[in-house]
Amino acid sequence: MSGSTPPPFRPVQLATLVDAVPAGDRWLHEMKYDGYRTLVSVGGGEARAYTRSGLDWSDRFPSILADAANLKVRSALIDGEAVVLDGNGRSSFQALQGALKGAPGTIDYYAFDLLELDGDDLTGLPLIERKERLHAVLPADLRHIRYSDHIRGNGEKLLNSFCQAGLEGVISKLATAKYVGSRAGSWVKTKCIKRQEFVIVGWTPSDKSRAFRSLILGVHDDGKLRYAGKVGTGFDTAELFRLMEIMAPLEQKAPTVAAARAEVRGAHWLRPALVAEIAFTEMTNEGTLRHPSYLGLREDKKPEAVVLETEHHAADLPAPATSNVPISNRERVIFPESNITKGQLADHYAAVAEIMLPWVGSRPISLVRCPQGRAKKCFFQKHDAGSFGDKVHHVGVVEKNGHEEPYLYIDDADGLMTCVQMGTIEFHGWGARIEDVEKADRLVFDLDPDVGLDFEVVRSAAFQFRDILKSIGLETFPMVTGGKGVHVIAPLTPRAEWPEVKDFAHRLAQAVAQSDPEHFTAALPKAQRKGRIFVDYLRNQRGATAVMPYSARAREGAPVAAPITWKEMETIDTPAHFHIGDAAELMKRARSKALAGWGRADQTLPDL
């Protein structure tokens, strides 16, 4: 059916690893598939496929997308898993690897959620309703797309039967829960066998052939890449030689991780660029794998995002998108001019966690921490010295000097609230997600007015900027920053890398300043900005950050950065319109028709 376009990518909901299947009829239990998490987007007779990090993988799944394009819908955004089934009907990651190399027609898709349908955002509906609508739009005679069925209750029994059949495990989901594009606690996974991604950091030679004996593995722990053991099984001859070919250009002399010499005798070290899926029975006290087996390379995840996955106790899980983190000193006044306390700030973040996490989660962040309040010493923090505990995670990012540094990231409400407990007022994020820190997923133009300019000038500039970007094919969205200015944001499908993104933003800012020098400048020295708006293009470079939607600001009156529509931009009174007392209104707005689709667009960097 025509008349619409495929909806753009949106962050996917993630499952928390737990030690037991949750009990009770509130939970729906589905098979855990052994494949690639994929969003399928349909509209106007077209279909696209996105990885969990937003990369466009449409060319990899032609048969699935041919089925999807023929669905009797105006538009839809479907969540599911791309898999290959073996002769026993089990999904096989290794078989999927083979199919991606030469037989994409054998790849199937199990659809388990429906996020949008015919222009309506369904993420606020209970899961059971979303699944009913999904089932209704998937005909039974599709060749490559199947509906992922579930059972209600009896999850432990289901897990036992799956494990006996050699399947991977169970995903359990709260039947009444909304869809939250982060780790929200309403989806949990229980595995039959331990398995996760590891970084290939080297190989040891074989004395019997030209191939290797084992791969040397690493994993990020507290933001540093460490030795995690070796894997010497799971390869057939063709894969051995294929890996040798792929690894050859990555060799380096210096050891990639520290390991006992006897463990890695004769090692050929590699730049940490490859990610492998590994099955294992357990991890030793020394942090190495016992009985590991190689399952295949993963192309949907970058080495920087490979961190140790730890089990949570199913009984300790908080309610969805809420936190168990206690907040101390709730009565401490941190905004002295308005008598606002740490407890009130924490209540704001607890209330908006559900709508904030899809933006701030799973991307490197910098924090503005003011432990004694905003009027005392505040400081920026992007690395962790170990004080945040295990709720705030680290992603290793290679700096200009070649050393890897642990950047902070969060992916659930516990992480958000831990930062608040540690005195954080503001959250600023990179323009890329942890799955691929080198590819930008947005452009941000910060329109920063000189002292003395009133907001009318900024308002006018925002519309001017919107029209310029529209003329070169970029859809944009405004956000009031809670400060003096406005952010004009152009979402991107992650494809362009930082040098190209920075160059584009710089040239665009210069072009705007040259075409209207009376109102705009792209000059960095403050003396040259007098009476004009500085187009801050520097947000669009590797390592730069911008304030995140729904973040409070360490400014007088506790203002909040908030998404708005272009229609609202015409009349809003100030960039500090919203404050931390407005959480209920912000929640209502985020779920409104007017802001549906805010900050999301299927577009790439145009030529300039």
Catalytic residues: 32
CA distance 516 to 144: 54
CA distance 483 to 498: 26
Token pair of 555 as six digits: 């400014």
In the block, which residue shows the tokens 């099955």?
279
Asked whether the CA dihedral 526, 527, 528, 534 is positive or negative, the reply is positive
Q: In this structure, what are the phi and psi dihedrals at residue 224, rounded to the nearest 5 degrees?
A: -115, 140
Strand partners of residue 282:
290
Numbers of helices and strands, H then E, in the chain: 11, 33
Tell me if residue 419 falls in helix, strand or coil. Answer: helix
Burial class (CB in 10 A: 0-12, 13-18, 19+), 450: middle
Token pair of 319 as six digits: 């309610």
Tell me if residue 436 falls in helix, strand or coil. Answer: helix
Asked whether the CA dihedral 221, 227, 229, 235 is positive or negative, the reply is positive
Helix, strand, coil shares, percent, the chain, to 5: 25, 30, 45
CA distance 179 to 172: 14
Tell me if residue 307 falls in helix, strand or coil. Answer: strand
Q: H/E/C letters for each residue in 3-25? A: CCCCCCCCCCCEEEEECCCCCCC
DSSP letter string, 93-133: HHHHHHHHHH-GGG-EEEEEEEEEETTEE-TTS-HHHHHHH
CA distance 598 to 488: 12
Strand partners of residue 562:
480
Q: For 530-591, where are the E strands, in sequence order?
A: 533-536, 546-547, 562-563
Per the CB < 8 A criterion, the answer to whether 176 and 126 are in contact is yes
Counted residue by residue, the chain has a size of: 608
Per the CB < 8 A criterion, the answer to whether 217 and 199 are in contact is yes
In the block, which residue shows the tokens 């960039």?
575
Per the CB < 8 A criterion, the answer to whether 171 and 30 are in contact is yes
CA 500 to chain centre: 22
Reference 189, options 290, 309, 102; nearest CA is 309
Token pair of 184 as six digits: 């929200």
Strand partners of residue 479:
487, 563
Reference 306, options 397, 215, 392, 370; nearest CA is 397
Tell me if residue 285 falls in helix, strand or coil. Answer: coil
Q: Give the Å distances, CA to CA, from 237 to 230, 243, 244, 508.
A: 18, 10, 11, 51
State the virtual CA torsion across 195, 325, 367, 492 in degrees, nearest 10: 50
